[in-house]
Amino acid sequence: MPYRSPVSEYSFVLENVVDFAKIAETEKYAEATPDTVDAILTEVAKLADDKLAPLNRNGDLYPARLENGVVRTSKGFDEGFKAITEGGWVGLAAMPEYGGMGLPLTLNCAVNDMFAAANMSLGLNPLLTQGQIEALEHHAPEWMKEMYLPKLTSGEWTGTMNLTEPQAGSDVGALTSKAEPKGDDTYAITGQKIYISWGDHDFGGNVCHLVLARLPDAPAGTKGISLFMVPKYIPNDDGSLGDANSLRVVSLEHKMGIHGSPTCVMEFDGATGWLVGKENNGMAAMFTMMNNARLGVGIQGIGIAEGAMQHAIGYALDRKQGRTPLDGKDGGTGTILDHADVRRMVATMKADTFAARAIALACGVAIDMANATGEKSWDARAAFLTPIAKAFGTEVGIRVSELGVQVHGGMGFVEETGAAQYSRDVRVTAIYEGTNGIQAMDMVARKMIDGGDTANTLIDEIEATAEAARSTLPELGENVWQAAETLREATEWMADQGDLNERFAGAVPYLMGFARVLGAHYHLKAAMAEGDNGPRTRLARFYINRLLPEHVGHLAHAVTGAEDLYALTTEDLTA
């Protein structure tokens, strides 16, 4: 079963579940009309289905490789990337002043969802460039914007982010890369970075590295980090490529998945760089890029879930094995999809993918509304939803791809079926751009600095939807309302803890419990919009009756605190 982008699903969620129309009503995004959205989704779907998806297996079987200092990409990736750039899709949400379309990030999320489902390895390249574009739009000096943004927006040049160092890992403040002023407004950048996705390629053009480094006498920790633009080739004044910079790819990481995406160890040896933003303010500039990148990673997880689900359904509709209760009856397929457990797995895949996608697109709407209106309430909502969208989206991708292998049975463990690739490719999404544990700790700490007000506003909306559903879908409405009350109690407990470690001990289960309830909210909205006992209502009933109850265990875990964790001694854990 070849991949087919679920355009009608995006359209339904945007129109009926996350209220995308609010965005189009703003002056900033007035061009995001329904006709424009439909045209873009349709065109990108053709690209994803016909150009990118057929290359996905090539990326797995013929990984990127390093030859004589040059990264050679997987078979056909150059043509796939060319198709992305020719459509102008890298710059969909970029500023029109520099060649972008200026359309909402929410729409860009749907596009990246399709790219990830079709070919995550290749789709990662424009995702990184989009993040760099955003960082430069907000923090770069005007000359740098004029030099770099048009070429990044068109896809002629590509962008990376260089944070991690071997000794530092997620502790970015421990980085040791140096930036020495050269006296001409440039800096000599020296250091080594690891895990640099798409750090080099053979597509042509320039590879533009945003690098975190420390100036002489800078304060210790994150307060002493600055951000620099360090291109592979130093541009001439007219934007043409000049001399090669003093940087190189040391090696490529040998990874569990996304083999088509070259993950580089980069070495900078006195490379010429230019300051982006203010001295010692690099983390603020980088987080402009990273915050929306975290949503983008959640979208990658959702895209993989979609691809794995379609792959599993295709197999289940073809595989015949054993007798089922539906043999010879109307509605029976005569295949393993008629077995109760296979149907349970497929329904779980579909219900969770919908929930995660709705959460991610709702986060995109909040970001767009914040950008369009400047209202702090939208900013707060976007900030709160981002770790949920990232962590839940990637956990769903992992779980759905695992179920995809299980639906295939023994054949799922055989590489030729392609089911295992989804599971291997998606696994990294729970790790990069801040592990899911870091996302959860951020959610219960910084994102609750308001005492839980933003969280409770969302819970109020969930309960309002549940109340509205009582007349047409009373059982579902009641279940969602009760779940929201349990979530509110857990939220109040979290907000009351003065010791952050008490929150951190249950941060991940709290995030997952919140996501479970939020997913039920969006399923209920979908069922209410459908009106009849149709497929979305039946799927909502499955989610609310079977998956929503998981929130009870998650939230019970969340409010247990840290005492029993630390009662376990090192000897207990290593015995």
pLDDT digits (tens, 9 = 90+) for 98-140: 999 999 999 999 999 999 999 999 999 999 999 999 999 999 9
**Sequence-distant (≥ 6) Cβ neighbours of residue 156 within 8 angstroms:** 85, 205, 206
Q: Looking at the structure, do residues 141 and 263 belong to the same domain, yes or no?
A: no
- The β-bridge relationship of strands 70-72 and 65-67 is antiparallel
Domain final position from 129, 152, 175: 152
Output the DSSP codes for 108-160: HHHHHHHHHHHHHHHHHHHHHHHHHHHHHHHHS-HHHHHHHHHHHHHTSSEEE
Answer yes or no: is 53 within a domain. Answer: yes
Domain final position from 236, 263, 283: 283
Answer yes or no: is 404 within a domain. Answer: no
Answer yes or no: is 124 within a domain. Answer: yes
pLDDT at 19: 96
Answer yes or no: are the C-beta atoms of 506 and 321 closer than 8 Å: no
Q: Cα 551 to chain center, whole Å?
A: 23
Q: Looking at the structure, do residues 120 and 172 belong to the same domain, yes or no?
A: no
Residues 220, 356: Cα–Cα separation, whole Å: 39
Mean pLDDT by 10 residues, the chain (575 residues): 90 97 97 96 98 96 94 97 97 96 97 98 96 94 97 97 77 80 96 95 95 92 91 96 97 96 96 95 82 93 98 95 86 91 98 98 98 96 97 98 97 94 97 94 96 97 97 96 98 97 98 98 97 91 98 98 95 92
Residues paired with 192 in a beta bridge: 267
pLDDT at 169: 57
Question: CATH no. for residue 19?
Answer: 1.10.540.10
Q: Which of 161, 378, 187, 392 is nearest to 288 (CA)?
A: 161
Answer yes or no: is 393 within a domain. Answer: no
Answer yes or no: is 384 within a domain. Answer: no
Dihedral sign, Cα of residue 544, residue 545, residue 546, residue 548: positive
Which residues form the catalytic set?
433
Q: Looking at the structure, do residues 492 and 558 belong to the same domain, yes or no?
A: yes
Q: Looking at the structure, do residues 122 and 181 belong to the same domain, yes or no?
A: no
Q: Looking at the structure, do residues 44 and 116 belong to the same domain, yes or no?
A: yes
Domain count, the chain: 3
Tokens of 18: 């996350």
Residues 96, 103: Cα–Cα separation, whole Å: 9
Q: Looking at the structure, do residues 455 and 528 belong to the same domain, yes or no?
A: yes
Question: CATH no. for residue 193?
Answer: 2.40.110.20
pLDDT at 20: 97
pLDDT at 165: 87
Q: Looking at the structure, do residues 142 and 166 belong to the same domain, yes or no?
A: no
Answer yes or no: is 544 within a domain. Answer: yes
pLDDT at 170: 59
Answer yes or no: is 354 within a domain. Answer: no
**Sequence-distant (≥ 6) Cβ neighbours of residue 559 within 8 angstroms:** 489, 490, 493, 494, 506
* Residue burial 170-186, b: 16+ Cβ < 10 Å; e: rest: eebeebebbbeeeeeeb
Residues 385, 193: Cα–Cα separation, whole Å: 30
Q: Which of 307, 297, 392, 299 is nearest to 6 (CA)?
A: 307
Please provide the size of the chain in residues. 575
Residues 456, 444: Cα–Cα separation, whole Å: 13
Answer yes or no: is 416 within a domain. Answer: no
**Sequence-distant (≥ 6) Cβ neighbours of residue 190 within 8 angstroms:** 177, 178, 180, 213, 268, 269, 270, 271
Q: Looking at the structure, do residues 130 and 17 belong to the same domain, yes or no?
A: yes
Q: Looking at the structure, do residues 62 and 184 belong to the same domain, yes or no?
A: no
Answer yes or no: are the C-beta atoms of 208 and 232 closer than 8 Å: yes
Domain encompassing residue 454:
437-569
Q: Which of 393, 403, 312 is nearest to 353 (CA)?
A: 393
Dihedral sign, Cα of residue 530, residue 456, residue 509, residue 10: positive
Q: Looking at the structure, do residues 148 and 263 belong to the same domain, yes or no?
A: no
Please report, to the nearest 10 degrees, the dihedral formed by the alpha carbons of residues 292, 296, 301, 302 taken in order: 100
Q: Looking at the structure, do residues 24 and 146 belong to the same domain, yes or no?
A: yes
Residues 443, 68: Cα–Cα separation, whole Å: 45
Domain final position from 100, 127, 152: 152
492 CB neighbour count, 10 Å cutoff: 14
pLDDT at 173: 61
Residue 229 is inside which H or E element, if any?
A: strand 226-231
pLDDT at 327: 85
Q: Looking at the structure, do residues 79 and 180 belong to the same domain, yes or no?
A: no
Q: Is 294 helix (H, G, I), strand (E, B) or coil?
A: helix
Residue 441 is inside which H or E element, if any?
A: helix 436-444
